Each structure stands twice: as structure tokens, then as C-alpha cells.
Structure 1
Amino acid sequence: MSETKASEVDYDALLVLIECMEQMPPLSRQEIADLSANQHAVVERMVAAGEIWNQASSGPAFLSLDEGEFRNHLKAIDNDLGEQTAIVAESFARYLKVGEVPAPYYPWRIAIILRREKRPELEKRFLAAWCQHLPGGNGARYGQLVDRFRKLG
């Protein structure tokens, strides 16, 4: 894993994402359910065309890589604040549009990068914005994000 220092452009992009998340009211359970109903079309496309979820839902291209390539891609971008921010921004926009809950790995990486770069106030602000919208999900990492935010409290 390379230790790359985030640039001001990366921080600016993260601030834009945080401001967007702060200004957007959280979706209600009913709104999420209504949006998620649209995902039935994705399942139908998977069955009809023999596509995997990411192809049928037009998700990020890197999610369709084979396992080895995917792992290499994750390693290559692990400490890249700009890439992590772009992924979270895209997945958050997708969540607002179709109710697909974003994977917690990428916001976790943002928090780790910010901690390593000694930016606790920015980490806290990012986690507050994330947890406002996505305080839970399937998997332990969602809870770890909330716990991390609470510890910064």
C-alpha cells in the first residue's frame, strides 16, 4: 500500500461531498423502500441478459473486474483520498436515486486517510454527514463507522 499525501484538490472534493450530504435531508424508510422497488428491473435484466448485478445496474466499472483485478484495484486506490471520495460521491448519488445502499468500505478508507493525515475535525464532519444518511446497514463496517464517529464526539 502506498502512502500518498492527499492534495488540496482531494480535500476540496471531499468538502463538496460533505456539504452535499449535510444539505440533503436523510431519506425516510418509505422513500428508500420506494426507490428500492426500482431494483426489481435490475434483477429482471440480470436474468434476461445473464449479466451480473453491477452490469445490470450500471454501477462503477471496477466492480465488474474479476476478483484478482478487483483486489489489485483496491490496493492501488486504498490511500487515494480523491479516488475514495469519487466512489463515495457516486455511490451516495446512486443511493439518492435508486435506494441502493453504498458499501461502507470506501467511507471507511476516507476516515482512515483523514486520521492518518491528522485531520480529526474533517474526519468527524465527514462521518457525521455519512452517519446522518447511513447509520446502519448489513455488515459490521456500518456499525464501525458509527462507533468511529462517536469516539470523535
Structure 2
Amino acid sequence: MELKKCRIGEVDVILNCAGLWPPAKQRREMGLETAPLKPVTRVGENALQKLDALIERMNAMPALAAKEAAARQKTNRIDFIEDDEATIQRKLAELEADRSLSVLEDPGGIKQYDNDLAKQVEIVNEGLDGWERSGMTPTPYYSYRIAVILSKEKEVEREKDFLAAWCRHFSEVGVGQRYADLVKRARKKGAIPKV
């Protein structure tokens, strides 16, 4: 502990102290802590087959224009004033079905799956189910993780194929920075033409 500054007031004493703690490398050398484990990337032949099936699915799906996606979202939006009780219950059930249960209900959270290609593909597939039903764009985080995993594994052509298929559907309708990052990545990798 190092005293940085002190002030004596009329009724109190104010001390500013700095805790002196060695840098992480030195703490590890002294045995005070261990280095964080590097995440293990899990990419097996089964995961690659699932990814290929996902790419085929996206290529076979008709691409929705922004107006079509908005119309589909409007059709599936719940209007608690205009909709009758049966319609509200049906739409609530559909929204519940669109939730990614495989991740949201998992006590370990999404970070444990960051480098698991098969799990990322499963989550994106679930997002596509919701996209087809309600026009709600899937969360781009998992698609981004697929691209990162493929890049780490030097699966250049698969990454390009995946990004091209993904951008075909979501480059125009996805709103937010992660969607923009995916489009930028696709252009950089040559999966879609540069603007």
C-alpha cells in the first residue's frame, strides 16, 4: 500500500492510497495466480457437416427484401388493443418458439459456446426458424462467431460461403454494428463484392 495523498479536515482525515500489486506476468511467476485458460475451439467433421447444411439452407431460402421483412414483422406483431385473445395467445406462443432455448436456458451462458462451431450453427439455425416464421432478424453475434471460428481454423472457402449466404439475407435488413461488421468482413474476405 502506498499513501498518495492525505488531507486533514476539521472533523475527518481523508487518505488516498494506492494498492501496489505486481503485473499479471509477475503474479503468475510468484504463484499468486494462474494464467487464464485459452478457449478450446471445437470444430469436428460433424460440426462442419452441420455448417454445410446451414449454408445450403440459407442458399435455398428465398431472400426477403427489407419491405417484405417489415411486412412479415408487422403481421406477427402483437396488437393488444386490436387483436383478439386467441390471436394474442397464438402470437405469444410463436414468439416463445422463436427464443433460442438452447442458449437462453443454459446456466453456463453463451460464452462457454463461443468456440463451439456445432453449437453456433445450431443457434443460427434456430434464428433462421424465427426469421422464416416472423421476419425477425436473428442475432448476428452467433453468425459472427461462426466466421471467427472458421477463420481460426483456416477454413477460408467455408467462411466465404457462409458469409455470402448470410449476407444474401441480412446485409440489407439487419440493423446494428454487428450486422455491419459481418458485411464488412464478407467484403474483406471476398465473399461479396466491395462497394
TM superposition score normalised by structure 1 = 0.81
- Alpha-carbon distance in 2 for matches of 1:16, 1:100: 21
Matched, 1:138 2:175: yes
Matched, 1:4 2:4: no
1:36 aligns with one of 73, 77, 84: 73
2:122 aligns with one of 86, 95, 98: 86
Larger fraction in strand: 2
Q: Secondary structure at the match of 1:110?
A: helix
Higher relative contact order (CA 8 A, sep 6+): 1
Distance 1:116 1:124, change over 3 A: same
Structure 2: which 5+ runs fail to align? 1-37, 191-195
The letter for the 1-side match of 2:78 is A
1:117 aligns with one of 153, 161, 173: 153
Asked whether the 8 Å contact 2:98–2:126 carries over to 1, the reply is: no
Asked whether the 8 Å contact 2:103–2:109 carries over to 1, the reply is: no
Measured against aligned partners, the alpha-carbon deviations of 1:106-144 in whole angstroms (never above 9, x if no partner) come to: 000000000000101100000000000000422111111
The letter for the 2-side match of 1:35 is R
| 4+ runs deviating over 3 angstroms | 42-45, 54-58, 62-65
Between the two proteins, what is the percent identity of the paired residues?
A: 37
- Alpha-carbon distance in 1 for matches of 2:117, 2:66: 30
- Deviation, 1:75, is 1.5
- Deviation, 1:64, is 4.8
Measured against aligned partners, the alpha-carbon deviations of 1:26-78 in whole angstroms (never above 9, x if no partner) come to: 01233212210233228789xx99xx9x975651235655xxxx794111111
2:164 aligns with one of 128, 146, 150: 128
- Alpha-carbon distance in 2 for matches of 1:17, 1:120: 17
- Deviation, 1:147, is 0.8
Distance 1:43 1:35, change over 3 A: farther
- Alpha-carbon distance in 2 for matches of 1:131, 1:115: 17
Distance 1:27 1:117, change over 3 A: same
Q: Secondary structure at the match of 2:181?
A: helix
Greater C-alpha Rg: 2
TM superposition score normalised by structure 2 = 0.65
The letter for the 2-side match of 1:152 is K
Distance 1:43 1:2, change over 3 A: farther
Asked whether the 8 Å contact 1:35–1:99 carries over to 2, the reply is: yes
Q: Secondary structure at the match of 2:164?
A: helix
Structure 1: which 5+ runs fail to align? none
Question: Over the residues paired in the alignment, what is the CA RMSD in angstroms?
Answer: 2.8
